[in-house]
Amino acid sequence: MIMKKLIYLIIPIFFLGSCIQSELTPDEIIKVKETIETQIQVMRKAYNLKDVEAVKGLVSESEDILVFGTDAAEVMKSASDWEQQMKNDFQLFDYADFGEAKYQSIKVSRYGDMAASVTESLVMMVIKADTFNLLLRFAFTWKLENGSWHIVQGNVSAPSENQLSQVLKEQMDKEEKRNDN
């Protein structure tokens, strides 16, 4: 009887103890950030080279993902959606070159199983001999799966220029004054 009670006491303690994650040290956080930075570089290089397999390898295949592209219709909910979107993108340009990140921030969860990255880069694209510079912003949530980091959520945007709310408000006020006169 005592042995049975002891087993009932030890099993939950053992189970709970094995579920507790330890927090990362500052050095471990730096290493995770460096790993995420490497993944971002892999994505930039693979996109430049139109390497569908390398880009596809960056997203989670073990769970549903959700990534929004620059167009309202670009909603990727699976690795196959992501792959198709990359194939579509790669047909649009002859050459692409991601410049260095102008702004970048990487945050890591204290247990090191999730991370978030936000990056802004100027991308030079050649389309039918014409060169275009496009500012892109990427926000991704990364999940550690089987020892490797994969995208599970994201948003890509091409921000407009000269559309600051303050500038637009001033333009609206000027227009209103003209209409009043």
Q: According to the model, what pLDDT value does residue 18 have? A: 47
Q: With respect to residue 112, please indicate whether it lies within any of the assigned structural domains.
A: yes
Residues 6+ apart with CB under 8 A from 11: none
Q: With respect to residue 79, please indicate whether it lies within any of the assigned structural domains.
A: yes
Q: With respect to residue 15, please indicate whether it lies within any of the assigned structural domains.
A: no
Q: With respect to residue 6, please indicate whether it lies within any of the assigned structural domains.
A: no
Q: With respect to residue 93, please indicate whether it lies within any of the assigned structural domains.
A: yes
The per-residue pLDDT string of the chain (181 residues; one tens digit each, 9 = 90 and over) reads: 665 554 555 555 444 444 567 999 999 999 999 999 999 999 999 999 999 999 999 999 877 899 999 999 999 999 999 999 999 999 999 999 998 899 999 999 999 999 999 999 999 999 999 999 999 999 999 999 999 999 999 999 999 887 777 776 777 888 888 888 7
Distance CA 81, CA 168 (A): 36
Containing structural domain, residue 45: 25-180
Domain count along the chain: 1
Q: With respect to residue 7, please indicate whether it lies within any of the assigned structural domains.
A: no
DSSP classification of residue 126: E
Query: In b/e form, how buried is each residue of 26-49, taking b as 16+ CB within 10 angstroms?
Result: eeebeebbebbeebbeebbebbee
The CATH number assigned to the domain holding 54 equals: 3.10.450.50
* Contact call for residues 35 and 117 (beta carbons, < 8 A): no
Q: With respect to residue 34, please indicate whether it lies within any of the assigned structural domains.
A: yes
Q: According to the model, what pLDDT value does residue 175 have? A: 84
Q: With respect to residue 10, please indicate whether it lies within any of the assigned structural domains.
A: no
- Phi/psi of residue 72, nearest 5 degrees: -55, -30
Q: According to the model, what pLDDT value does residue 15 have? A: 47
